[in-house]
Chain A
Amino acid sequence: MECQECHQRPATLHFTQVINGNKTEVHVCEVCAKEKGYMTYPEEGYSLHNLLSGLFNFDTTQLKNHQGQAFKQEEELTCPKCKMTFTEFKSVGKFGCATCYETFSSRLDPILRRVHAGNTKHAGKIPKRQGGDLHTKKQLEDYKAELQHLIETEAFEEAAKVRDSINALKKQTGDPETGENS
């Protein structure tokens, strides 16, 4: 069986992930397991208390694998706004400002994945005033997910209504693509 992440190396780790009651089978190679944040080193406990410090230890172990290459890169990651370095972030476990998220973005996903049960993308509220056209964009995404679900459950009449809403919304925002071929 090949690794589901890199599709190159053979999967050597097989386990069942339970996230909020949903079971998923995971088959990955050791390299991806570490990179994607699926596993901790055996000497690290996986409890809520040392979760954060665990995350950051994990990153130092990655350094060894890259034979110092990653080390240089890490030194260069300094937030232009608050001057926090990635090393500092790792030891404190807190961001110094909003810009840090951008600065450290290339290294955040494994950490977020661990803390948030595999998730890396926000799916909730958008600020009312600042949000601007993100609101329509999100509405569109929600409709599409609903449509998909309705089609899967063969509720075609409902699905047609949702598709109409999608098209109306797209027309409203001047999107030329009308989604006829769904």
Chain B
Amino acid sequence: MTLQQFMNEAISPWMREEGPDSDIILSSRIRLARNLSDFTYPILEDQESLEEIRDFFEKEYEHQTFQDYEDFSFIPIHNLTGIERRVLVEKHLISPHLAKRGNAAAAMISKNEQVSVMINEEDHLRIQLYFPGYQLRSALDKAFEFDDWLEEKVNYAFDETKGYLTTCPTNVGTGMRASVMMHLPALTMTKQMNQLLPAINQLGLVVRGIYGEGSEALGNIFQISNQITLGKSEEDIVEDLKSVVDQLIQHERKIRSRMMEHSSLHLEDRIYRSYGVLGYSRVIESKEAAKCISNVRLGIDLGIIKDTPQNILSELMTLIQPGFLQQYAKRELTTKERDILRASLIRERLQLEK
């Protein structure tokens, strides 16, 4: 049942709640990389060890509940079709790397999709925890509690001076990547994002597109995360990230209100045009759709568009992805077919036509 739920709904249950600063921050995420001390790492592909780990997690945690994270589904990756894997990646429940992994890879996902544990990815365990809006600190606290819960039954590879011993030296120490997904249309529109990027990088943070490394900022959505994992506590890393994110939020809001003051008609025009395109188009590419979704979302946040809920936009961002469209159609689709189905699904969700 649950795999079907993961597949059919474009929006994860936890996204339905509105978080703080949700006009700009879509979600906060904490990822912890952990390894088990007695086994060689997944990169060595020792099938026996990897299967032992996978089976252990299936036996111990399938259908278990930890606090609000109920009824963990255990999903062996090799049981999934290519399209199903893609959907999980598009929903950020697994990484593209895990989707490509062989036999012993698996994912453990809570019913509300807030927690997912990737098993035998680059590290034995990659724990991910999402919170709606700007809630890095809450996400960190919960991630720690969840981490402790897992650690009751497994021995982590940990060293007093080097911390959590990860497969890649870039993750060693805390093994933590904290990130926020930010919608920054005003900063992008005014071309200020390009200027800010080098400064953000200099502060030890990384900016990526919505689908991680190398992906472009589709729909003006940027993922900002820490780069350094060694030498600072998780709390300090989160604070450092927050201090930069706080400034970006302020900056984005300032430009938004300035645009409303000085060029509200043009802004309104731009937003309604996009609304029209989404509401009435018959064929639409994902890039154009993402651009329009971003504009409409800005329109909602500025109070220009009133009767559309904010999270429809998060839902549409997933809905327009190739994997999801094909899952919906229950078959592989050509690019052209996808553009048609995309347009029709968006129309259906926005219901402008009566």
Contact = CB atoms under 8 A, between A and B. Distances in A.
Q: Is the interface of A mostly helix, strand, loop or mixed?
A: loop
Interface stretch (A27-35, A108-116, A151-159, A167-175): A108-116
Interface in B122-138: 122
B231 interface: yes
A96 B173 contact: no
B144 interface: yes
Contact size range, A: 35 or more
A116 B165 contact: no
Given A93-B169, A118-B231, A130-B151, A125 B161 contact: no
A122 B162 contact: yes
Contact of A81 (B40, B227, B236): B40
B68 to A, nearest CB: 20
A70 interface: no
A101 interface: yes
B308 interface: no
Contacts of B43: 92, 94, 96
A1 interface: no
Contacts of B44: 82, 84, 96-97
A134 B230 contact: no
Interface stretch (B82-90, B188-196, B200-208, B294-302): B200-208
Given A122-B161, A124-B232, A124-B233, 18 more contacts: A20-B240, A82-B40, A93-B169, A95-B169, A96-B43, A98-B35, A98-B159, A111-B169, A116-B230, A116-B231, A117-B231, A122-B162, A123-B173, A125-B163, A127-B148, A128-B148, A129-B151, A130-B151
Contacts of B144: 125
Interface string A1-31: 0000000000000000011110000000000
A165 interface: no
B39 A97 contact: yes
Given A18-B202, A82-B40, A127-B151, A121 B174 contact: no
Interface in A34-55: 48, 51-52
B230 A120 contact: yes
A94 B166 CA distance: 9
A39 B174 CA distance: 25
A148 interface: no
A127 B41 contact: no
A91 interface: no
A122 B160 contact: yes
